Structure 1
Amino acid sequence: MSKKCLIIGYGNSLRSDDGAGQKVAKRVAQWNLKNVSCIAIYQLTPELSEAISKVDMVIFVDALATSKKLEIQQLKVNSKITNLGHYSNPSQLLSLTKAIYNKLPIAYWILIPAINFDFGESLSIITENAIKLALEKIRKMIL
C-alpha cells in the first residue's frame, strides 16, 4: 500500500514569483500519481486541516522573499494555535489538524526563493530554476 501524500502550494499567483507554490502544486498534479493529491490555493486556511488529516505526508510549498537557495524544512507541531487567517503558517495548521482530528502526517515545508512580486504571472529566472529543483525533490520524496 502506497502512502498518501498531499501537496499544498500557496501564494498569490497574480504577484509573479509569489505564485511559485501554486505553480508547483499544479505541475505535480499533472503527474497524475494515484496516491498524491494537490491543492493550489491563495492562502492557508483552517479548512485545509481536514484534507491534511487524511494523508500520511503533507508538503507545503511557498515562495520566500530571498535570492538564496531552495529550503526544505521538516515541520513539527506548533503548540500555540493563534491566528489562523491569512498569516497562518503550516505548523499552526498541523497543530489544528492534531487538535481536531488527532492525526499528524509527516510534514515538510519547501520555500522557493522569490525576488519579483510585481503584478503579473511571469517568474524570475531564480524562481523558475528553484521550481524545477523543488519538483525534483518532491518526486524523490513521494516516490
Structure 2
Amino acid sequence: MFELHPQLAQDCIAVGDLPLSRLLLMNDSQFPWLILVPRRREVTELFELSAADQAQLQAEMSGLGQLLKDTFNADKMNIAALGNMVSQLHIHVVVRFRVDPVWPAPIWGKLPPVRYEGEALEQRLAELRAVLGKHFNFVEADK
C-alpha cells in the first residue's frame, strides 16, 4: 500500500490524485510549487518505475508543467527529482519568475518557507481546481 513519506506530509498540502501520482502543494506561498508523488511502494528512482508508469509520470509532469506555465504566466518552469533529503520518488514542479526573490538561483534552501494561511491557501487551491478541471480527483486540503 502507498504511504506518503512523513516529511512530504509535513511540508505539503494534499491536493488530489492524478492517474499515477498524488499531487501535493508545497506549503510555501513564495512560489507556485507542486509535487507529484507516484503512488508506488518503495520507489526512489525514475528508472525503478515500470515503462508504463514512466510514460504516465512523464505525461503528468508535462501536463502539469504546461498548465502551471500558462496559468501563472511563468518565465520558466523548474521540474526536478532530487531525493537527497526525502528518498521517496517525488517530482517538484515549480513556477519561476525573473522577479522572484531568488531568481535565477535554485529555490532549495535559499529562503525559509512562508506557509499559506487561511484565505491565501483557499485561493491557491481554487486556482488549482480551476485549471486542473473536472477530470481530477480532488481531496480536502489539510488546514
Please, what TM-score do these two structures have when normalized by structure 2? 0.32
